[in-house]
């Protein structure tokens, strides 16, 4: 498009400024409204990771984890960190539920009985909430040898065609999850 004259040039400059402003605003919004700030390092299974400035557990890929899951390896425990509304719709069979909102309160205490196991945390975003919960658990004594974050999360699990099931009684017996279940005391599908 050819612009001649001052008015057309000013219009073009204003459009460019508006575009740059919109992109800048989107980047600022994303930086302030996402839980993942940086992931540094090599491939997903051996990287050093940072989450909101805090170290979080290494990733484990779905390709690496699925054989462990299928073998029912007793040294691994799959942990859903999502909120009750998401868990009610679907979760991975055989997992346990420790919602992120309760992780720093009653969740880490509940997980003490699994401290000798490797916890594989998953969420729906596909990994940011799980990474955040791993950082919380590390503040309560866990280390990288006992924590993994499922890199593809539930979206990758579903995309691969693996089984999920609903949890119709997601907050039944929710004595461990007072924060997550305060708005879902009798959630029914």
CATH no. for residue 76? Answer: 3.40.250.10
Strand partners, 101: none
Residue 127 lies in a domain: yes
Domain identity same for 8 and 100:
no
Q: Does residue 85 belong to any structural domain of this protein?
A: yes
Preceding amide of 126 cis, omega within 30: yes
164 and 84 fall within a common domain: yes
Do 10 and 78 belong to one domain?
no
Q: Are residues 113 and 159 in the same domain?
A: yes
Averaged over 152-159, what is the pLDDT? Answer: 97
Note down the domain range covering 25.
1-33
Q: Is residue 188 part of a domain?
A: no
Q: Is the pLDDT of residue 92 over 70?
A: yes
One domain for residues 44 and 105: yes
Domain co-membership, 65 together with 92: yes
At 111-144, the pLDDT tens digits run 999 999 999 999 998 889 999 999 999 999 999 9
**pLDDT exceeds 90 at position 4:** no
Which has the higher per-residue pLDDT, 168 or 19? Answer: 168
How high is the pLDDT of residue 185?
A: 54
DSSP helix/strand/coil, 95? coil
Residues 27 and 48 in one domain: no
The distance in angstroms from the start CA to the end CA of the chain is 56
Residues 100 and 20 in one domain: no
> Mean per-residue pLDDT for 70-83?
97
Quote helix, strand, coil % in the chain, to nearest 5. 45, 15, 40
Q: Are residues 145 and 84 in the same domain?
A: yes
Which ranges constitute the DSSP H helices of 71-103?
A: 84-89, 100-102
Both 61 and 140 in one domain: the answer is: yes
| Cα separation, 112 vs 42, whole angstroms | 31
Which is more confident, 11 or 45?
11
Comparing 123 with 49, the larger pLDDT belongs to: 123
Report which of 77, 47, 61 is spatially closest to residue 156, judged by C-alpha positions: 61
* pLDDT value of position 59: 94
What distance in Å separates the CA atoms of residue 97 and residue 91, rounded to the nearest whole number?
9
Q: Is residue 186 part of a domain?
A: no
């Amino acid at each position: 498009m050819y612009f001649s004259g001052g008015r057309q040039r000013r219009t073009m400059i204003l459009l460019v400024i508006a575009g740059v402003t919109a992109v800048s605003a989107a980047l600022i919004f994303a930086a302030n409204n996402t839980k993942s700030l940086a992931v540094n390092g090599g491939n997903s299974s051996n990287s050093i990771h940072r989450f909101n400035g805090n170290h979080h557990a290494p990733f484990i890929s779905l390709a690496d984890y699925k054989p462990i899951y299928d073998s029912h390896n007793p040294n691994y425990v799959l942990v859903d960190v999502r909120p009750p509304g998401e868990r009610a719709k679907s979760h991975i069979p055989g997992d346990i539920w420790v919602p992120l909102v309760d992780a720093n309160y009653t969740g880490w205490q509940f997980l003490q009985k699994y401290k000798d196991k490797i916890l594989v945390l998953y969420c729906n975003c596909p990994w940011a909430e799980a990474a955040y919960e791993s950082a919380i658990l590390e503040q309560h004594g866990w280390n990288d040898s006992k924590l993994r974050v499922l890199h593809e999360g539930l979206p990758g699990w579903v995309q691969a065609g693996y089984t999920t099931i609903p949890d119709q009684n997601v907050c039944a017996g929710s004595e461990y999850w007072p924060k997550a279940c305060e708005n879902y005391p009798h959630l029914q599908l």
